[in-house]
Amino acid sequence: MRLYNSLSREVEEVRPADGGVVRMYSCGPTVYRYAHLGNMRTFMLGDLIRRALRFEGSEVRWVMNITDVGHMTDDVGEEARDRMDIAVADEGLAPLEIAAKYTEAFLEDADALGIERADEYPRATDHIAEMIELTRVLIEKGHAYEVEGNVYFDVSSFPGYGRLSGNTLDKLQPGHRQLETDPNKRHHADFALWKRAGDNRLMKWDSPWGPGFPGWHIECSAMSMKYLGDRFDIHTGGADLKFPHHEDERAQSDAGTGHDVVSIWVYGGFLQFSGQKMAKSRGNVTRVTEIAEQGEDPLAFRLLCFGTRYRGEMDFSWEALEAEGRRLTRLRQRMADWAEAERGERSPAAAELDRRFRESVADDLDLPAAVKVMGQTVSADVSDGERYDLLSSWDAVLGLDLERLAREGFEVPGDVQSLIDERDRARGARDFATSDRLRERLAGMGWEVMDTAAGTRVRPLR
């Protein structure tokens, strides 16, 4: 399995740090609002990497955090507003009630998209002690300093700052952290590990530096190392997290331990809608639930994502989604047709298709190439049993539930069977006008009509 490492700017083989289990951390949702399709495409990346590694026989431990405090609109002053505080004001619920509501919604959306559950979902509010301890260590080692209850990371103490994102200190201008211009900082790029809390702040904790709350970046350093150790293999996130979030996280983690903590940094590209990045701030967000409300299978979005390499920007449209929905339905129907086919020894042609699929997946998740192999398999010179076995095995990576119709089967209602019998009589009498009319009527009732030597066969269109 090879992945593009944004730190080295090269495609690298995944080699577990401990020689055994591959350990991966993903930046998860900030649970003050619903996640949109752009967010979910990013979260799907960790799922695909884990599926691909398991497909190769590797054991994977995957941790995804839940940010329920610390993601601030700015980082200045005692009254800096956390996004959770804003949600509380909007909805009239307590902070943890807000977090619980949107965490559950995120997990339901992930389930609908075939994103298998991570091994752990640590919440920031459950790990304040670990954040305080890491902050204390960074102060002790000379990488951080306290000023009037605020603790900042000293970026000049970490020579590798900027290596991940390319935003080196000589390129950064004052004010690059939105509104953060605290004159007490030693360097304008220094970032908050801990912030002093004002009297009106809802979410705050005691600390050696007084009542306060953690910065956003310290959360991921503390939680990732608690659950995966101080050396782990893969860190994923959206391209927008590379700077400042991951640049700062990397600085904290590596400065605190004295070595590189993460081996490979992997990023998913943006999702665009009508030529613009999908984002809450733009008001052009679409939720997973809206796909189902439009009568489409959410897994059609998953298949749509496979048409673009995970690192590239992807365009979303309802027309493209509907087309992938039809494609997914056809694949499931073919799988149902092949389910009872005889099995035998795998042919050289089938073995070659399997090799090409596996190589595509291992090559930095080249899913466009993998899906192309899947499409070629449908018409390849292999037996129906081989087709079924290949696609069902590949679905361990794709997660498209290709065996749904084959597994569930279906019953033909009596009124539908009556129309089928009537159509067979019409065909026997060569009354093709009636036959075509009945085909259209059956299609309108949600049934695909197939003419076979044994007569009319039907299967659900959805």
pLDDT tens digits, 195-242: 998 877 888 999 999 999 999 899 999 999 999 999 999 999 999 999
Identify whether residues 331 and 441 lie together within a single domain: no
pTM for the model stands at 0.86
Span 101-148, pLDDT tens digits: 999 999 999 999 999 999 999 999 999 999 999 999 999 999 999 999
Q: How many domains does the chain have?
A: 3
Write the CA distances from 93 to 101, 126, 197, 199, integer angstroms.
10, 19, 21, 19
For residue 459, what pLDDT band results from cuts at 50, 70 and 90?
A: confident
| Residue-level pLDDT at 76 | 45
Identify whether residues 444 and 343 lie together within a single domain: no
> Residue 260 is part of a domain; what is its CATH number?
3.40.50.620
Identify whether residues 90 and 119 lie together within a single domain: yes
Structure tokens at 158: 């970490």
- Nearest Cα neighbor of 303 from 394, 416, 172, 211 is 394
Determine the structural domain holding residue 42 and report its residue range: 2-268
In this structure, the chain runs to a length of 462
Strand ranges for 155-218 from DSSP E: 191-196, 212-214
Does 448 score more than 70 pLDDT? yes
- Please indicate, yes or no, if residue 281 is contained in any of the structural domains: no
- Please indicate, yes or no, if residue 291 is contained in any of the structural domains: yes
Among 31-40, 377-386, 410-419, where is mean pLDDT lowest? Answer: 410-419
Are 347 and 383 a contacting pair, CB within 8 Å?
A: yes
* Burial degree of 103 (CB within 10 A; 0-12, 13-18, 19+): middle
305-316 average pLDDT score: 96
Identify whether residues 191 and 142 lie together within a single domain: yes
| Residue-level pLDDT at 196 | 93
Identify whether residues 262 and 114 lie together within a single domain: yes
Longest CA–CA span in the chain (Å) reads 93
Identify whether residues 214 and 362 lie together within a single domain: no
Identify whether residues 259 and 359 lie together within a single domain: no
- Please indicate, yes or no, if residue 273 is contained in any of the structural domains: no
| Residue-level pLDDT at 191 | 94
Backbone angles phi, psi at 412, to 5 degrees: -90, 115
1-23 average pLDDT score: 97
Does 394 score more than 50 pLDDT? yes
Identify whether residues 255 and 370 lie together within a single domain: no
Does 58 score more than 80 pLDDT? yes
